[in-house]
Structure 1
Amino acid sequence: MKILVTGGAGFIGSAVVRYIIENTQDSVINIDKLTYAGNLESLECVSNDERYTFEQVDICNRTELDRVFATHQPDAVMHLAAESHVDRSITGPAEFIQTNIVGTYNLLEAAREYWNTLTNTVKEAFRFHHISTDEVYGDLPHPDEQEGDLPLFTEQTSYSPSSPYSASKASSDHLVRAWLRTYGFPTIVTNCSNNYGPYHFPEKLIPLVILNALEGKELPIYGKGDQIRDWLYVEDHARALYKVVTEGKVGETYNIGGHNEKQNIEVVEAICSILDTLVPKGSPYSELITYVADRPGHDRRYAIDSSKMSAELNWTPVETFETGLRKTVQWYLDNQTWCQNVQDGSYQRERLGEINMTAKGK
C-alpha cells in the first residue's frame, strides 16, 4: 500500500510513520505543515528510506492537497493532522477551528475527488482513516462521585465535548461520518485515550514533568490532581492504527485505549519515583510538586472500552503503564538534544490556557 499520513511529523503521526516504514512493506507520503509541534527530527531514522516521502503542506491549502493526491496517488489516508492541546485551545480557539474543522473538510473533499477518479477495484480498496480523541465524549463519573462499577467510553457513547479543542475534533468526526453517509466515501474513525511516549512535545503533562524535574523546576498539578486519564503508549497506538487502516471495516468506529486509568497526581509521582532511581539527587523529585488553579472546564475522568478492537482486530496494548512510563523517562534522559531543539524559544514550558474572567465582567 501507499499511505498518505497527515501530521506525520507530530507526536502520534511520527510514531505511525516509523511503525509503517520499519515494520511493513508499505510506502508513506507524510504531509505536515510543520507547526511548533511538528518536528522532522522525530523521523530521522526513516528519512532516507526509499519508501518514505515528505511534503510540507497545510491541510487548509486545497490546491496543494489536490497536487499531492495527483502526484502520489495513495491507496489510503491516515488523517492525524490536528491542533491538539486543550490549554492552547482555551486561549486561541481560532487555529483549532481552522485546522481541525476546515482542514478536515478540505482533506475530505480532495480525497473524495481523487477517489472518484479511481478504477473500481482500487476505488473499493481505498480507505480514509480519521484519527480522533476520547475527549469528544466529554467526561465520565469520577470514583468520588459514584459507587460501584464506573462506565467507560464505548463506540456508542454520545458526544459532549467540553473544550474548544474537543469540540473541534467532534465536529471533524461528524464531517467524516457525513461524507460516508452522503457520498458513500469509505471512512473509518478511531478515538483514542491519552498517548504518551518518545518524541512528545513538552507542553503535555508527562514530558513537561520529566523536563521540569530534571531542571529542578516546579511540577505544576491542576486542582487537586485527581483528574483521571486512560494512558496509552504511543507505539501501541501506532500498531492499532495500522490494524484499523488495513483490516478495519468501512463505516465503523473503533475506540483505542491503554487500560491504564491513573490520576494525574499518580502519574507525576510515578515519574518522580523513576527519576529518583535513574537520576538520584539530594532530595526526592516529588518535593517539586506544586498545586495550581485548575484548567477552565477541566474534564474529571476519561476511560476507554477498547474491547471491540480486541475482539474484531485482535489488538491489545503491549505496554503496561509501568513499563511504558519507564521507557518514556529513559528516552527523554537519552535524547536531551531533541528536547532542546524542539523548544525553539517560543515556548518555555510556561502555563497556557489561563483566561481572565474579571476582564470579561464575570
Structure 2
Amino acid sequence: MRFLITGGAGFIGSAVCRRLANDPENYVLNVDKLTYAGNLASLKAIDNLPNYAFSQTDICDGPAIGALLREHDIDIIMHLAAESHVDRSIDGPGAFIETNIIGTFQMLNAARGYYESLSGEKRSRFRFHHISTDEVFGDLPFDSGIFTEDTPYAPSSPYSASKASSDHLVRAWHETYGLPVVLSNCSNNYGPFHFPEKLIPLVILNALDERELPVYGKGENVRDWLYVDDHAAALHLVATQGVSGENYNIGGNAERTNIDVVRAICAILDTKRPRANGGSYADLIRMVTDRPGHDRRYAIDASKIRRELGWTPSKTFESGLAATIDWYLANDWWWEPIRQAQGFERLGTLSTKEAGE
C-alpha cells in the first residue's frame, strides 16, 4: 500500500510513519509543513529507507496536495496534520481555524479530485482516513459513562471546535460526493517524541531541570491515556481494514486524574534519577490557576475497534509511562534543542484582548 501521511513529522504522525515504513511492502510519503511541533529528527530511524519520502508542503495548498497524490500514486491518505495544543488554541485560535478546518477542506477537495480519476482496484482500495480526538465530545461528568462513536459533539475549546468542524466536513464529503472515508477519535496520547509542552513530557523535563511542576486547578481533571505506538497500530488497522463511512474510537482504558499522573512520574523519577537533595520530585508540584473551558473528564469506549478490527493496546499505563520516562532520560539529543529554542512559558491564560483575537 502507498500511504500519504499528513503531519508525519509530528508526535503521532511520526509514530505512524515509523511503523509503516518499517514494513518494506509499504511506501510512505510524509507531508508536513514543519511548524513549531514538526521535527524531522523524529524520523531519523527511517529517513534513509528507500520506501520513505518527505515533502515539506502545506495542507492548505490543495493543488500541491493533488499533485503529490498523483506523483506518488497514493492508495491511502492518513490525515493527522493539525494544530493540537488546547492552551495554544486559547491564546491564538486563528491558526487552528486555518489548519484544522481550511486545511482539511483543501485535503478533501484534493482527495476527491484524485479519487475521481482512479478506476478498478486502485479506486476500490482508496481511503481518506481522518484522525481526530475525543475532545470533540466535550465534557464528561465524573459519574456518567464514557464516549462512544454515537456520543453527540459538544466541543469546549477552540481546538476541539476546530476538530469537530473538520470531522463534519469529512463526513459531508462522504455523504455528498461519495469519497470513501474512515474516521477515528482517540484519547490522550503519550510516549517517545512527544512535544515537550504537553503534560507528561513537560513534567518529566521540568523535574529533571528542578523546575516547578504546574498542575491546573486541583488536578482532578481525568484523561484516558493511550501509548502512542499502540495508537499507531490502531490507525494502521482503521486505514486498511476499516469500513468506509464508519468511525472508530481508540482509547487506552487508562483513566487517571492529572495529579495522579504527575505523582506517578515523580515516583518513577525518584527511583530512576534521584534528586541531588534527597527529596522527592513531588515537592516541586505547584497547583496553578485553571485554564478556561477545562473539561473535567474524557473516557473512550474502544469496544468497537476491539470487536471489529481485533485491536487491543499492548501497554498498560504503568508500563507505558515507565517506557516513556526511560526514553526521555536516554534521548536528550532530541528534546534538549527543542527546550532551548521554545522556552515553554505557560500557555492558555491570555485574555481575549491580550491574545489579539
Counterpart position of 2:120: 120
Counterpart position of 1:312: 308
Tell me whether 1:258 sits opposite 2:252 in the alignment.
yes
The TM-score normalised by the length of structure 2 is: 0.97
Q: CA deviation at 1:341?
A: 2.0
Aligned partner letter, 2:328: Y
Counterpart position of 1:186: 180
Counterpart position of 2:25: 25
Q: CA deviation at 1:125?
A: 1.0
1:325 partner SS:
helix
Greater shift after overlay, 280-289 or 58-67?
A: 58-67
Q: Hey, what's the Cα distance between the residues in 1 that align with 2:304 and 2:23?
A: 24
Question: Please, which of 149, 152, 176 is the counterpart of residue 170 of structure 2?
Answer: 176
Q: CA deviation at 1:358?
A: 9.0
1:350 partner SS:
coil
Residues 156-186 of structure 1, C-alpha deviation per residue, up to 9 Å, x if partnerless? 0000000000000000000000000000100
Q: Does the 8 Å contact 1:136/1:169 carry over to 2?
A: yes
Counterpart position of 2:242: 248
Q: Does the 8 Å contact 2:131/2:183 carry over to 1?
A: yes
Q: Hey, what's the Cα distance between the residues in 1 that align with 2:8 and 2:39?
A: 9
CA 1:192/1:24 → structure 2, altered by over 3 Å: closer, same or farther? farther
Q: CA deviation at 1:69?
A: 1.4
Q: Does the 8 Å contact 2:24/2:51 carry over to 1?
A: no
Counterpart position of 2:343: 348
Q: Hey, what's the Cα distance between the residues in 1 that align with 2:354 and 2:259?
A: 31
Counterpart position of 1:290: 286
Give aligned pairs, total.
353
**Where do 5+ consecutive residues of structure 1 fail to align?**
none
Residues 244-294 of structure 1, C-alpha deviation per residue, up to 9 Å, x if partnerless? 111110000000000000000000000000000000121000000000000
Counterpart position of 1:130: 130
Counterpart position of 2:212: 218
Aligned partner letter, 2:283: E
CA 1:84/1:359 → structure 2, altered by over 3 Å: closer, same or farther? closer
1:131 partner SS:
strand
Residues 179-235 of structure 1, C-alpha deviation per residue, up to 9 Å, x if partnerless? 000001000000000000000111100000000000000000000000000000000
Aligned partner letter, 1:351: R
Q: Does the 8 Å contact 1:6/1:79 carry over to 2?
A: yes
Counterpart position of 2:333: 337
Counterpart position of 1:6: 6
Question: Please, which of 278, 283, 301 is the counterpart of residue 297 of structure 2?
Answer: 301
Greater shift after overlay, 284-293 or 16-25?
A: 16-25
Q: Hey, what's the Cα distance between the residues in 1 that align with 2:345 and 2:321?
A: 23
Q: Does the 8 Å contact 1:39/1:342 carry over to 2?
A: no
Q: Does the 8 Å contact 2:76/2:129 carry over to 1?
A: yes
Q: Hey, what's the Cα distance between the residues in 2 that align with 1:184 and 1:197?
A: 36
Counterpart position of 2:47: 47
1:64 partner SS:
helix
Q: Hey, what's the Cα distance between the residues in 1 that align with 2:319 and 2:131?
A: 25
Q: Hey, what's the Cα distance between the residues in 2 that align with 1:121 and 1:315?
A: 26
Q: CA deviation at 1:120?
A: 2.6
RMSD: 1.3
Q: Hey, what's the Cα distance between the residues in 2 that align with 1:242 and 1:337?
A: 29
CA 1:292/1:326 → structure 2, altered by over 3 Å: closer, same or farther? same
The TM-score normalised by the length of structure 1 is: 0.96
Tell me whether 1:75 sits opposite 2:75 in the alignment.
yes
Q: Does the 8 Å contact 2:91/2:352 carry over to 1?
A: no
Q: CA deviation at 1:73?
A: 1.6
Q: Hey, what's the Cα distance between the residues in 1 that align with 2:238 and 2:174?
A: 16
Q: Does the 8 Å contact 2:83/2:100 carry over to 1?
A: yes
1:14 partner SS:
helix
Percent of paired sites with the same residue: 59
